[in-house]
Amino acid sequence: MSNTGVESAMAAALAIGARLALPGLDCKADFWDLWDKHGPEVTRERILAAKVPGNGAVTLVAPSGQSHVSKSGHLPYGYSQNESGLYYTHPGADKNGDPRQPIRLGPALDILARTRDGQSGEWGLLLAWKDPDGATHQWAMPYAMLTDARQVWSTLAAGGYIPAPGRETRNLLAQLLAQAEPPERARCVPGTGWHCGCLVLPDAVYGESPELLVVQGAGADNPYRVSGDLETWQETIGAWCLGNSRLTFSISIALAGPLLPLVGMEPGAVHIYGHSSSGKSTLLRAAWSVWGGPEGLRTWRATTNALEGIASIHADTLLTLDEIGQADLRALDEVAYLLLNGRGKMRANVDGSIRATRAWSLMVLSTGEPTLADRLTEDGKKPRAGQEVRLVDIPADAGQGLGAWEDIHDHSTPAQFSDEIKAACAKFHGTLGRAWAQYLAGHQGEAQKLRSVIRKTAEHWAAGAESGQVVRVAERFALIGLAGELAAQAGLVPWTEGQSLSAANSCFSSWLAARGGGGDTEDIQAVSTVQGFIARYGASRFQTIGAGADDITPGNPHERIVERAGFRRTTLSGDEQFIFAREQWAELFRGRNPIQAARAMDRAGLLVRNDSSLAQKISLPDLGRVRAYVVRIAQQNVEPAP
């Protein structure tokens, strides 16, 4: 049934661009009828909800009576919103010919811009809303999420956007997100870090960019929380770093992350190991307090796929991983390589095309009672040399009988000092990281000049080292130390000149001592493998032979050898030698290069040669004259013969 009065009013409003308010009763009525039935307040609200008919982009009147232009003025037809919420009005009239009443979909939801990456892909929408506490949230929603809208509702709900219940409400919200066409554009980036000359965090951009930059899909996972002020952080955690090398070093690791791309260095990690209650987890919390609160701490107990996403949201900052003992032993080697390689797995789309691979550069601070090598050994693996150079182990014990501390700053016990640090981290966090990001965004050229200083510092620290691997580790420690020095020069940390470099040098010396010297990792591993094997099996798996070069006479006819691994003899000059046929040597170094191992033994002066070959010709029982490796081992490393 037509309503000529409504139709005439609607035509008049359209002709002059006016707003149209209708009583909305289930009968033909005017506003006096509405006043009589529902009173002045309902009548007032209905008038204030007036809109321009036939146009979704409207100027609404807020409940306060003040004019409010929605930030989503480009809403599709039928949608409208004001401070009280987001609404949809079905077109047409109800069965009585009256305009349909607006349906409340939820709180106001601003659609600020369309997002896309630098290759005009990965399109999405930039959304903003306020949670029940009034805090503003912003999310770059990928359009791809609309294929399964449950992900959209989950992310919105996690950020405090609570839509009205009901399937129709959800469908109308999904329709809105699919149809909205905001004219503004924003550049989406895959993770945090440096993009277009700016340091981007999930909720802030430091630096100047020609267009708005946002992290695509970050959603509610924003670990960069802020609490307290920088001055209080400096007076507590920052001041307690004085006299504590491990604490200063940990804070400096957190500051080094944004410098990696500026100085052209690869991702790296430091693993602090030691017994429980040594203070290593406190060091982890203190380091992360630079960027966020305790809720942002991560653990090794995560899948490889999850750590890819975690790494991208920590790019160019710091990723903390607590308790390496909880890591999945089967995936530990792969996870360590993935994090330090800085690239995720290659994956295919449904059509077979290759998806964009995630990439990142970051510093990792890890803790646990065992080292990475200890954990890999549990699974019968050995760490690769590249891993040990980029994930370096340092003991938590600072050597003063106070665990990780050298100075507990007037606290009664190391445990009390640790508790005070943890409490301060919970109250004061996130401010230093943002001040550091602001500083670096305006001083990128100054930071880039550190590269030559890093090289010179590392060469000084590693002077006399025989291995290029040691120099590479020294460069990483120098970067960490100089990050703290630069922050001190900027007035962001309350440290004296040289404090951060001295702490980094001290930790480097601890790493070098625990490693066993300045040679290549492969050389150290090879020598350790041979010495350990002989120390364990020298009396039980090596057959004794005569002292002469070709004397194969059994030295002890009563000895019982099971699973012979080689031969042993005492030369006429008194040297103790262990002899491995090539096959036996290869078995000892299964999974590694046996020739490289022989060269390592030769460089260590433990391989006996009688010509240019690493393996000398020698006669052996049951084998005849063959090439074999002859190892000279110090007497104290050998079990006595029975």
For every residue of 409-464, DSSP letters joined together read TT-SSHHHHHHHHHHHHHHSBSHHHHHHHHHHHH-HHHHHTHHHHHHHHHHHHTTT
- Give the pLDDT confidence score for residue 515 in this predicted structure: 73
CB-side exposure of 261: number of CA atoms within 13 Å? 20
For the chain, the average pLDDT equals 84
594 within domain boundaries = yes
- Give the pLDDT confidence score for residue 153 in this predicted structure: 92
Residues 244 and 390 in one domain: yes
pLDDT tens-place string over residues 269-286 = 999 999 888 999 999 999
Give the number of domains in the chain: 4
- Give the pLDDT confidence score for residue 536 in this predicted structure: 86
Residue 54 has pLDDT above 50, yes or no: no
Residues 115 and 210 in one domain: yes
225 within domain boundaries = no
Domain boundary among 490, 515, 540: 515
- Ramachandran class of 194: left when φ > 0, alpha when ψ lies in -120 to 50, beta otherwise: beta
pLDDT class of 357 with cuts at 50, 70, 90? low
| 100, 240, 250, 335 from 53: Cα distances, Å | 12, 66, 62, 58
Max mean pLDDT among 26-35, 164-173, 360-369, 481-490 falls in: 481-490
Residue of 290 and 190 predicted with greater confidence: 290
- Give the pLDDT confidence score for residue 255 in this predicted structure: 98
98 within domain boundaries = yes
Three-class DSSP category at 64: coil
What is the residue range of 94's domain? 4-106
pLDDT class of 123 with cuts at 50, 70, 90? very high
Residues 582 and 490 in one domain: no
77 within domain boundaries = yes
- Give the pLDDT confidence score for residue 228 in this predicted structure: 96
409 within domain boundaries = no
Residues 85 and 140 in one domain: no
Residue of 590 and 351 predicted with greater confidence: 590
Residue 307 has pLDDT above 70, yes or no: yes
Residue 629 has pLDDT above 80, yes or no: yes
642 within domain boundaries = no
**Of the ranges 126-135, 448-457, 495-504, 511-520, which one carries the lowest mean pLDDT score?**
511-520
Domain boundary among 463, 492, 515: 515
- Give the pLDDT confidence score for residue 55 in this predicted structure: 34
Radius of gyration of the chain (CA): 35
Residue 279: CATH number of its domain: 3.40.50
Q: How many CB atoms lie within 10 A of CB 160?
A: 17
Residues 45 and 135 in one domain: no
Task: Give the whole-angstrom CA distance, residue 193 versus residue 361.
Answer: 8
Contacts of 288 (CB under 8 A, 6+ apart): 254, 294, 296, 297, 318, 320, 365, 425, 429
pLDDT class of 217 with cuts at 50, 70, 90? low
Residues 507 and 530 in one domain: no
265 within domain boundaries = yes
**Of the ranges 157-166, 212-221, 489-498, 605-614, which one carries the lowest mean pLDDT score?**
212-221
CB-side exposure of 150: number of CA atoms within 13 Å? 1
- Give the pLDDT confidence score for residue 571 in this predicted structure: 81
Max mean pLDDT among 149-163, 356-370, 526-540 falls in: 149-163
**Of the ranges 50-54, 280-284, 317-321, which one carries the lowest mean pLDDT score?**
50-54
Task: Give the whole-angstrom CA distance, residue 435 versus residue 379.
Answer: 43
> In the predicted model, what is the mean pLDDT of residues 586-610?
84
Tokens describing residue 458 = 């590392």
**Of the ranges 349-358, 361-370, 543-552, 571-580, which one carries the lowest mean pLDDT score?**
349-358
Residues 236 and 275 in one domain: yes
Residues 168 and 84 in one domain: no
pLDDT class of 322 with cuts at 50, 70, 90? very high
> Closest Cα partner for 339 from 371, 368, 305, 373?
305
| 17, 86, 467, 609 from 238: Cα distances, Å | 62, 46, 35, 57
pLDDT class of 382 with cuts at 50, 70, 90? low
Q: How many CB atoms lie within 10 A of CB 384?
A: 15
449 within domain boundaries = yes
> In the predicted model, what is the mean pLDDT of residues 250-266?
96
Residues 24 and 165 in one domain: no
Look-up of token digits 């305790």: 294
- Give the pLDDT confidence score for residue 56 in this predicted structure: 31
Residues 11 and 158 in one domain: no
Residue of 208 and 477 predicted with greater confidence: 477
- pTM score, whole prediction: 0.70
Tokens describing residue 140 = 């770059």
Domain boundary among 515, 531, 551: 515
pLDDT class of 1 with cuts at 50, 70, 90? very low
Residue of 631 and 610 predicted with greater confidence: 631
Residues 98 and 121 in one domain: no
- Give the pLDDT confidence score for residue 75 in this predicted structure: 85
Residue of 357 and 316 predicted with greater confidence: 316
Residue of 395 and 94 predicted with greater confidence: 395
Residues 498 and 527 in one domain: no
pLDDT tens-place string over residues 7-43 = 556 555 544 556 667 776 555 667 777 777 777 877 7
